[in-house]
Amino acid sequence: MLVLDKFTRIVTVLQVVLSPATHTYLDHPYEPDPEERGLCWAARFVDTKKVFAFQPDSFYDNMDFLTSGEPLDKETACAEGTVNRVPLEKPHNVVGRTSHSWPFMFL
């Protein structure tokens, strides 16, 4: 969760284009199935709903699952004593978002 805190601090100073691996890397499996082709280094799966439902101005609302498949939500992850939650003070500094795919994963 420390990455999110660093992100919110950076956005208060710089303009950024987001590409969070948990929601926009298209080389992760489409379904959370062990037989599904793809990498699982940042997310257990990335489907169309997850990509288009991504909320760049509220990273904490995007929490859904750990890579192990266990459910994760904002209330649990941001409970008092678990993370120092820093609000996004300048959402206008998020100037875009992009997604990535590594074509060799689809061959």
Q: How far apart are the two ends of the chain, measured CA to CA in Å?
A: 34
User: What is the pLDDT, as a whole number, of residue 1?
Assistant: 46
pTM of this structure? 0.65
Cα–Cα distance, 32 to 7 (Å, whole number):
27
Q: What confidence score (pLDDT) does residue 44 get?
A: 78
Query: Could you read off the pLDDT tens digit of each residue along the chain, which spans 107 residues?
Result: 455 667 777 777 888 888 888 888 888 888 878 787 777 777 778 888 888 888 877 777 888 877 777 888 877 777 766 665 666 778 888 888 888 877 776 66
Torsion angle, alpha carbons of 64, 70, 74, 80, to 10: -160
pLDDT for position 78: 74
